[in-house]
């Protein structure tokens, strides 16, 4: 997928007018791109539309309209758009109570390196996590991580031929795996060339 450019973005005024309809469209689009991996972790797979929404929201919230500011937002978010041979996901560890969250994030250190996807008949694809900056410390992991899953041409061909897709986390404190539902698998297939 091509990176987003400033000409593709709406001005703040246009976005204010079109935001309700655009937001509804993006939320509908995102619903097929989310995957619960166990009870406390959600993977949201990004693409050009989800990233455009994120950039538009940041521009709106921060009231950014100068070309330099827009360029900085695009530079920050464009790396999250898949490039045809991978999937990119925002991974959220969700614990609603602050005390539980603090305890679990400390217990789940390094969980970002235990995430995987697997095309049936192929080896697991271990996530490349947090390339932009480290999101964990010696004491705890972060609640949000950014992951990339690189596929081989043989994996892409197998998916196109109907191979099943699995995903999971293999951390000593959090072991869960799922079969990727058909709608999500179809949405992810569209990200590959």
Q: Encode pLDDT of 167-193 as tens digits.
A: 999 999 999 999 999 999 999 999 999
Q: Give the separation between CA 114 and CA 110, rounded to whole angstroms.
A: 7
The pTM for the full model equals: 0.90
Q: How confident is the model at residue 138 (pLDDT cuts 50, 70, 90)?
A: confident
pLDDT surpassing 70 at residue 157? yes
Q: How many CA atoms lie within 13 A of 127 on its CB side?
A: 27
* Structure confidence at residue 168 (pLDDT): 98
User: Which secondary-structure segment (H or E) carries 125?
Assistant: strand 125-126
Helix axes 48-62, 12-31, angle to 10 degrees: 140
Q: Give the separation between CA 4 and CA 134, rounded to whole angstroms.
A: 25
H helix intervals, 63-132:
67-77, 98-107
Mean predicted confidence (pLDDT) in 44-59? 96
pLDDT surpassing 90 at residue 130? no
pLDDT surpassing 90 at residue 2? no
Q: What is the mean pLDDT of the chain?
A: 94
Q: How confident is the model at residue 28 (pLDDT cuts 50, 70, 90)?
A: very high
* Structure confidence at residue 133 (pLDDT): 64
Neighbours of 17 (CB within 10 A): 11
pLDDT surpassing 90 at residue 162? yes
Q: Per residue in 164-173, is it b (16+ CB within 10 Å) or e — as a string?
A: ebebbbebee
Mean predicted confidence (pLDDT) in 97-106? 95
């Amino acid at each position: 997928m091509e990176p987003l450019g400033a000409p593709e973005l709406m001005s703040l005024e246009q976005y204010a007018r079109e935001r309700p309809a655009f937001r509804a469209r993006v939320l509908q689009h995102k619903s097929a791109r989310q995957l619960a991996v166990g009870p406390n972790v959600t993977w949201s797979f990004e693409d050009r539309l989800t990233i455009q929404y994120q950039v538009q929201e940041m521009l709106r919230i921060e009231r950014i309209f100068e070309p330099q500011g827009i360029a900085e937002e695009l530079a920050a978010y464009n790396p999250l758009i898949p490039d045809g041979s991978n999937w990119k996901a925002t991974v959220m560890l969700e614990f609603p109570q602050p005390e539980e969250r603090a305890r679990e994030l400390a217990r789940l250190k390094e969980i970002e390196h235990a995430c995987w996807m697997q095309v049936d008949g192929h080896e697991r694809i271990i996530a490349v996590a947090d390339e932009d900056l480290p999101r964990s410390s010696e004491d705890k992991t972060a609640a949000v991580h950014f992951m990339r899953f690189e596929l081989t041409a043989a994996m892409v061909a197998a998916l196109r031929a109907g191979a099943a897709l699995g995903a999971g986390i293999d951390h000593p404190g959090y072991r869960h795996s799922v079969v990727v539902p058909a709608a999500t698998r179809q949405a992810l297939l569209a990200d590959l060339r």
